Structures are given as C-alpha cells and as structure tokens.
Structure 1
Amino acid sequence: MERDVMIKLLEKGHVSIPVVFLDYYDALGINEKDMMLLLHIHRFVQQGHTFPTPEQLAQKMTLTVNNCQEAIGRLLKRGVLRLEQSEDDNGVMYETYSLGPFYEKVVAYLEAEHAPEKNKNDIDAGELYRLFENEFGRPLSPMEGETLAMWIDQDHYTYSLVQAALREAVISGKLNLRYIDRILFEWQKNGIKTPEEADAFSEKFRQKQRGKSTKEQPTRPYPNYNWLEAD
C-alpha cells in the first residue's frame, strides 16, 4: 500500500462505538440492518456531519437508498432516533439527528433490569382499581375512585393491604367501601401492615367468634366477623 494512501486512511480517524449499542439493540427490538444504519449515523454525527442523507448512508452499506429511507423511518417511529432542528450563528435553521432517545431507552431498560423484584403481593393502582370493579361487578363511581386514592395517598395503606381488605369484605359478604374502610381502620389501629399480618389477625377474631358461637348457640352456623361492630 502506498504511503500517501495509508496517511489518508489514518487521517480519517476512528469512531468510538459505545458497548451499549452492541449489548442492547436486540432488547430494544432493533434488527441488525437497522442497527448497522444507526451505527453509521452515529459515525457521521461523531465526525461532525449531523444529518447524513439516505444517499450518503447507502454508499456505506449494501442497502439501497429506499432501504435506508425505510430504516430511518422505522428508527424514528421506534423512538430510538430523533430529528431535531438547530440554528447556526447566522440564524440559519438546519436539521440534525440525535441518538439521545436510544441512550434514554437503554437507561430505562437497565433500570428495569436491575430494579428489585416485585413482591408477589404487590399490585399497582390500575390493578387495584380493576380488582374492585371485578368484585363489585360494575364500574366504580368517581367518589369511590377518590376513596381508593385517599386510602393510598392520605392514609398511606399499601396496595396489597387494600387488596387484602377487599378480600376480607368478600369473605364477610359485605361488599361496600364503608365496610372496607372500617377493616383498614381496625388493622391500622392494631399495627397491621402486611397481608400476612392481616390474615393472622382476622383468623384470630374468627376463632374467637367461633368459640362464642359454639357456647351460645351450638346448632347455629358460624357467622362471619362483622368489622363494623369491632371493639
């Protein structure tokens, strides 16, 4: 190879490719061809050419110009590439590609990947709302929705504890928010903070009620514990 050719090659410099490009493109649903195109855009941006055309990209790849246009459209639609407008010192507007969205998605993926595992008793607000609607057999009213929100935001009950109170109300055959609110109040008064503690607390009352029922009326079926009559 001639000396001047080698010098020209060296003068082109090198491109630094973040490892996350190679490690997470598959997790973000990007195929190899689109990823290679994204790498070429990254290369152009690093070299100061922030808006390479499909024609320029096609010259570096085995893809056609149309293929490059379609790939750019997919990357923009998938939200891993963004088209931005900038202004130079003379007030002239120009377009640039930003790979910021790709890095944002990688960070979000890493956060989710390393987040603590969700406890089997934990549910979110949407799931809790659906549970109540399923048990009530109808949509919740706005006031009922506000009550659920107050239990979480103001009373600081956990989602899983509210779920346990709903289950207790179903068992007792008293499916209304006033009854469930009373259950939660009794649990809070007695330091109950987890569904497991709530189950043990409820069972203790049932055993106590069962003993009273057996002594007073041996032949009468055992009634469920009435939380509205709690001491």
Structure 2
Amino acid sequence: MIENPSNPCLKDLLNEKPIVISQLLLMYYAEVDMDEIELAVVMQLIRFRDCLGQTYPTIDELKTVMTLGSDQIRSILARLIEKGLVAVVHSPVESNHGKSSYVLEPLWDRLLTAWQKSKTKKLGIPSQSDSLKKVYGTFEKEFGRYLSPIESSKIVQWCSTDGFSSEIILEALERSVLQGVLSFKYIDSILKTWETQNLKTIEEINNYEKKYKERRKNNKNSNPKQNQKLQDKYSEIYVT
C-alpha cells in the first residue's frame, strides 16, 4: 500500500476520476449480442464521455488507447450501431455544423430487458419488462434527458434489491416533481420513508397520509411547537 506518494505524477494518477461501469453491462453484454471486443469499445466510449467529456471520440483517439486498428474500430462501431446498441445523435449548435454524440441508452434498454428476463426466469413469474421500461421511460421524460448508468442501476436496485413495485417508484417520482426536488437522492428518501412505515401500495400510502393529516389537525392546538416540527419533517414527503 502506498502512503503519501511523493511523486507528482503518481499523485495525479491516484487522483484520476474513476470510471463507473454498470454491473448490468458486465453481466449481460453477451445476452444482448455483444462480444468482448465490442464490450471494450463501449467501455472506452464510457471513459471518453465520463472522464474526458467527449461524447464523440474520433477513430484515431480510440486507436491510441486500444490495440485495434482504425478499420477494426470503425467496423466495430458500425456493427454496434447496426445492432441497435449504440446510436449517433446530431445536435444543432451555434456554429451551424452541429455536434455528434455516441448515445448508449439503447444499450441500457436492452440490458435492462435482459436483466428482467433473467430475474423472472429464476422466479418463475411472467415477464415484467414492460413495467420496467415504463419506469425507465417516465424518469427520462421527467428529467428531460437520458439517464446515466448510475441512475439506471439505481432503478434496478429499487426494483430487484429493495423490492419496490413500479407503481410505488413512479408515485415517489411524482411526489418529487410536485415538490420541485427532482433528484434520485430525494426519490430514494421518499421510498425509504414508505418502507420504514411498511407502506407497499398507493392505497396504503394515501390512507397513511389521511390519518397523518387528521392527527396533525387534532394536535394543532395541543402542542404548537411540536406540531410544527412534525409538519416540517413530513411536509417535503407527503403532499398536503
């Protein structure tokens, strides 16, 4: 283990921004008809985007960090686009020349579907990929952009690890929109609050809120200071 490195270059290396690679990509790339070479190219696209801010690296730039030749890289990119895993988006800019970007969202959609099929197959239940796609699409619509790999993984975590239904997740998203606090951290806090109260359906949430409002109304004059504290605590989560 290196402690307090004195070499400036080594310090810069240790301070380099890490690359976040979704487990979905590593676990299910073969399920979406990708081979290891295509996976390596996709991972380089992620590195250029997340670490260097380049959404459309040139063939030469990709070549400098890979053992593949220019023709091979060009062929692999064309293959990924043909398979519908990577898309190229052209956005207008002030220079009138436009800006191109490699977009990986089609790949994330396919990976989510592969993950869902794997889960439902193990559990022996009907596929719910449509509901997962609905959650994913609704989030992108509300956020007004494509979701990052980290955000996509968070949705998968809510569904698989935490066991939240798509209806509950979308309800939490709606609450965050109404409160004007559109962030995954805030949505996660809403879901965890409902989980703590053992609220698993929208009906249970509505009933709990109704009782909460009644208690707050009844206690309004009993202890104003304490009542205000409770109101401040829950006002950001429960729509009043």
> TM-score, with normalisation over the residues of structure 2?
0.45
> TM-score, with normalisation over the residues of structure 1?
0.47
